[in-house]
Amino acid sequence: MDIWCVKVAFWYGGEAPSAELACDVKLCKSEEEAVKELNRIIREDWTSEIEIDDETKSLADLRGMQQDEDSRKYSEWYYSEDGKLAWQQCGSSFSCRGEVVKLEVPS
């Protein structure tokens, strides 16, 4: 039996050390459910807005895109084509990263 996990980490700059880094995990029954949950988190919890061509869009609507065309590693925001990995850096005040991974449960 496989279980899918949505891992999310947040970094809040300027907060007390006890609240500066937070993590969240949600277990899902299927890959599709986990990908949908990560998209929901990006849209509703992160509420990430990205400026592209003088238009503001939600990061949740930018699958397969990244801020730096030459380097995914150094992009301030990224959302994978398959919907399993996303992050956004908001200056020095807030960063978030979410990932969908498959967990294998031994029998």
Mean pLDDT of 12-28: 81
Distance CA 3, CA 50 (A): 32
Number of structural domains (the chain) is: 1
pLDDT at 97: 93
Distance CA 91, CA 99 (A): 21
Distance CA 60, CA 22 (A): 21
Q: Phi then psi for 45, rounded to 5 degrees? A: -90, -50
Q: Phi then psi for 53, rounded to 5 degrees? A: 50, 50
- Structural domain boundaries, residue 18: 2-104
pTM: 0.87
